[in-house]
Chains A and B, each alone.
Chain A
Amino acid sequence: MQFCEPQLRIKLMDTELDIARTTLLAPAGVTEQDLEKILASILGHAVDSADLYFQGTHFESWTLEDGIIKDASYSVDHGVGVRALSGEKAGFAYSDDIVLPALQQAATAARTIAVSGGKGRVKVWDKKLIKPHDLYPMVNPLQSLSDSDKIALLHSINQEARRSDSRVKQAIVSLAGSHNIILYMDSNGTYAADIRPLVRLNVNVIVEENGRRESASCGGGGRQDYKMFLDKGVGLGYARDAVREALVNLHAKNTPAGNMPVVLGPGWPGVLLHEAVGHGLEGDYSRKKTSAFAGRIGQRVASSQCTVVDDGTLPEKRGSLNIDDEGVPTQCTTLIENGILKGYMQDRLNARLMGTESTGNGRRESYAHLPMPRMTNTYMLPGKYTAEEIISSVKKGLYAVSFSGGQVDITSGKFVFTASEAYMIENGKITHAVKGATLIGSGPDVLTKVSMVGNDLKLDRGIGVCGKQGQSVPVGVGQPTLLVDEITVGGTEH
């Protein structure tokens, strides 16, 4: 297999499938006939279906710290994952060599999930160009700026951070980009490819005043190329926002502890939805009945102002995909509508076992991992209130606008998310900043306490990483400003 940049000569009629075949299969002379034979060899009386997932990824990162480009790295990873499905069972093997013998070996291993063998027939692949979505450009972000321009971008952002305030003592600016080509084929006739760019820029600053130090991070990105950070000074904006947040935290007082109303700002605070209901609505948990939301379709799980969707079709967003990692087109899946639980997110296996269709949520970290139901972009639709109306309705509570992350126990339903920028609300007015604290609540309960939903829906800037069973995937979250009547704030003051 050649270690090389895919030559994206722009030729009319070059589709994702052509590029994927050229890049992933052609170098070692693997043909479609070879793959058909491999799939057929896996099928048998007890094996329902088999699939192959090829992947080729180029990744780079550049880091500026102490005013110099300190670190930069480049990596290449490619391989193929072979899966055999038999009822609920999956046999899985992978190879980081995309050559026929390795593929055959992986297929033999994966097949051991089924007890008996036999002849199976692979359904004819529908090689019509299925292009359900065209959500991002077929670019290789790593080549979208020259290396000198990437460095110049980092320097300009570093200078912007230091220029914003004399209290800035340290700035770390990092740029990362990846170019990911995937090719999926299975014995049921699906044959599809996707070319996925992903970029991310992050600014972390440390400020100091009178011996007290604090830090903050700000960043963003999406499925496009590095030029998005130059456009309208987006990258410079991250620097200013990181500095602003760090300075707020420099003067933050201790946070109160206990139950209270909490107003959550728009955008990234949508982590609330990701943790409180998102994971609990992943199809594998519902199928196994291990989630607090299992078996509750049709029941009220949120206030009537809440409509929550998982939408993989947002153009150029970090959590979006044209097709999921099982070749299924993504869609906008309504999870909760006006407070009523409507649906779960499914991959192929769990959908089949639950007698329904995949919702295009079958995702995997890489060819070396098994797919499972994962989120894409999860957000709440806007309501009717303004942010001002929502804040002024609170007598005493918390206003949290930025978070670091969260976690959930989907069985008990308890979830947490940790604020990184928050303020007290007293008599309807924002007063002083308080230190970031962890908020804890119960998923099936918290959205029933959302009494006001704002009209200012925002998606996050493109920084979300979701971890589940040891696999990380990029995701998006979003929401409008909203008020939760009561949630526990993990402060220190009591």
Chain B
Amino acid sequence: MLEAAIMQPGVTAAAVGGSANAGLSAHVRMGQVETIEFFRDKSLGITVYKGQRSGSATITDLTQPAITAAITAACRIAEYTEPDVYSGLADKADLATDIKDLDLYHVSNITPEQAIAKALECEAAALNYDKQITNSDGAAFSTSDQLYVYANSNGFLAAYPTTRYGAYCTVIGQQGESMQRDYEYTAARDAADLMSLQELGKKAAAKTMARLGARKIKTCKAPVLLVPKTASTLWGTLVTAISGGNLYRKSSFLLDCLQQQIFPDFVNISEQPYLLKALGSAPFDDEGVATCTKDVIKDGVLATYLLGSYAARHLGMRTTGNAGGVHNLVVQPGTDNFEQLLQKMGTGFVVTELLGHGTNIITGDYSQGAAGFWVENGAIAYPVEEVTIAGNFKDIFANLVATGNDIDARSNIITGSVLLEQLTVAGS
């Protein structure tokens, strides 16, 4: 496809990227199968460059006529876009040459019947946990087998397969008139690394039970302890604020903060794309550029931006291998576990769930719905709901109190709990 594209009149460079995916998902509810879905997708995108103009087309039909038509469409579009001095393929020197095997592919041949049995086992453990668990939104087990491929006219051609297995369970508890729901999930590259499904079910039930009797609290300013799931949101905002697009558009509250202290000096965060079997690992980024292990925050100082070639050129810098995002953001664990962080906080708000989006990435202003637990004297007092937490990220980062060692590695952001000095909690 690449060769055919390059042969078109006026085309000076081209890139083709795509993926194929197959798998299944079994969803059960109240001890019965609800759905069984079979997935099979493929998609290919082509970008052609005519000097500094570019055009793209994406297709899911990979027959020859469709591919030819996609190339034609992309070329036609490149006649209409306007020259952009920063556009173009990644520099040849930056392309990955050593495509590491990151142990991301573990075939398991799980049948639909087995997937159903696993989901049933998981939900049963949750439903049997306590009689206050009165209803369920079900449990699911899924498998996915993927292949990524990228090639460009600078000589890059590479592909790598990955697998992903997952399960989750959502149950509902009732206390009087009010209902609460919560869930637990597990995800891994290898089915053998998944959390025990019975464990998962019990955890989902326990979390749901813990929410019963939740109340709204009075508006106040208080320290906030984010559990790993919600701490991910905090780190996600950091990633967005130091990503190329927001930097060259000058729409980031961390503009021009490179080499500046933005966190206290005990905060260390790195990007580790080569962690074996990890969920965010990748040998190269979306442009074929080699990914690399690097410090993102070192002793509280912003050590790097996260850039693809386009943004890098805009900024007069070099790509950091982050076209498409970050690959395993690892927050260095602190010395405290969750209970110790509770003690450290003393009185404050543990946030286990965030609702909505409320970050202004230009100014750092933040306001989001929250649920969790009120803590007094280092111990959880009662569940809280229907409140918001608000502040500004520049202050939130600068006044971060501690990171925990209760690391959760179930996503692209690997972190423990995080204790923040103070946010405004709005309630009644």
Contacts and interface: CB of A to CB of B under 8 A. Distances in A.
A148 interface: yes
A436 B360 contact: yes
Nearest to A65: B249
Interface in B19-52: 29, 32-43, 45
Contact of A151 (B54, B76, B80, B358): B80
B98 to A, nearest CB: 31
A72 B77 contact: yes
Interface string A42-82: 00000000000000000000000010111111111111000
Contacts of B80: 69, 72, 147-148, 151
A456 interface: no
Interface stretch (A262-270, A284-292, A354-362): A284-292
Interface stretch (B144-152, B266-274, B365-373, B399-407): B365-373
Pick from A91, A212, A416, A417 the residue with the most CB of B within 10 Å.
A416
B355 A409 contact: yes
A130 B45 CA distance: 38
B101 to A, nearest CB: 29
Contacts of A255: 367, 390
Contacts of A31: none
B154 interface: no
User: Counting chain B CB atoms within 10 Å of each CB, which of A73, A169, A490 scores highest?
Assistant: A490
A94 B41 CA distance: 9
B214 to A, nearest CB: 7
B81 A288 contact: no
Interface in A334-358: none
Nearest to A146: B80
Interface in A399-419: 404-409, 411-412, 414-418
Interface string B54-87: 1111111101011111100110110011111001
Given A93-B37, A213-B250, A489 B426 contact: yes
Interface in A95-145: 95-97, 106, 109-110, 112-113
B60 A79 contact: yes
Interface stretch (A183-191, A424-432, A437-445): A437-445
A89 B37 CA distance: 11
A113 B358 CA distance: 42
Given A69-B82, A71-B56, A368-B41, A490 B389 contact: yes
Nearest to A489: B426
Contact of A290 (B37, B172, B368, B369): B172
Interface stretch (A1-9, A458-466, A477-485): A1-9
Nearest to A72: B77
Contact of B357 (A66, A75, A90, A418): A418
A110 B112 CA distance: 11
A171 B389 CA distance: 31
Interface string B235-255: 000000000000001110000
B362 A440 contact: no
Interface centre among A3, A91, A170, A494 (most CB of B within 10 A): A3
B386 A88 contact: no
B118 interface: no
User: What's the dominant secondary structure at chain A's contact region?
Assistant: strand
A206 B73 CA distance: 32
A370 to B, nearest CB: 7
B116 to A, nearest CB: 10
A416 B368 contact: yes
Given A1-B61, A93-B38, A206-B249, A416 B390 contact: no
B358 to A, nearest CB: 4
Contact of A214 (B41, B77, B362): B362
B260 interface: no
Interface string B183-223: 00000000000000000000000000001001010011100
B166 interface: no
A432 B108 CA distance: 61
Nearest to A64: B82
B54 A75 contact: no
Contacts of B220: 494
A259 interface: yes
A488 interface: yes
B68 to A, nearest CB: 8
A488 B387 contact: yes
A277 to B, nearest CB: 16
A440 B427 CA distance: 9
A435 interface: yes
Contact of B55 (A73, A259, A417): A73
A491 interface: yes
A112 B363 contact: no
A206 B362 contact: yes
Nearest to B360: A436
B428 interface: yes
B70 A259 contact: no
Contacts of A489: 388, 426
A30 interface: no
A96 B36 CA distance: 18
B137 interface: yes
Given A94-B40, A213-B251, A418-B367, A493 B424 contact: yes
Contacts of B67: 3
A4 B61 contact: no
Contacts of B385: 412, 414
Q: Which of B57, B59, B81, B356 has the most CB of A within 10 A?
A: B356
Interface in B407-421: none
A473 interface: no
A1 B214 CA distance: 56
A411 B353 CA distance: 14
A369 to B, nearest CB: 9
Given A70-B84, A73-B56, A440-B387, A491 B426 contact: yes
A156 interface: no
B12 interface: no
A437 B367 contact: yes
Contacts of A390: none
A429 to B, nearest CB: 24
Contacts of B426: 257-258, 440, 488-491, 494
Contacts of B29: 88, 288
Contact of A92 (B36, B83, B389): B36
B205 to A, nearest CB: 14
A313 interface: no
A343 to B, nearest CB: 21
A438 B179 CA distance: 23
Contact of B363 (A73, A96, A213): A213
Given A96-B60, A441-B386, A112 B112 contact: yes
Interface in A1-34: 1-4
A412 B179 contact: yes
27 contacts: A3-B63, A74-B77, A76-B70, A89-B34, A90-B36, A91-B36, A96-B41, A96-B60, A113-B33, A206-B249, A213-B251, A259-B427, A290-B181, A368-B39, A368-B41, A406-B356, A407-B357, A409-B353, A411-B172, A416-B388, A417-B356, A418-B356, A436-B360, A440-B426, A488-B426, A491-B424, A492-B424
Given A91-B36, A94-B39, A492-B424, 6 more contacts: A148-B80, A409-B353, A409-B371, A490-B358, A492-B367, A494-B426
Interface of A: 1-4, 66, 68-79, 88-97, 106, 109-110, 112-113, 147-148, 151, 169-170, 206, 212-215, 255, 257-259, 288-290, 292, 368, 370, 404-409, 411-412, 414-418, 435-442, 488-494
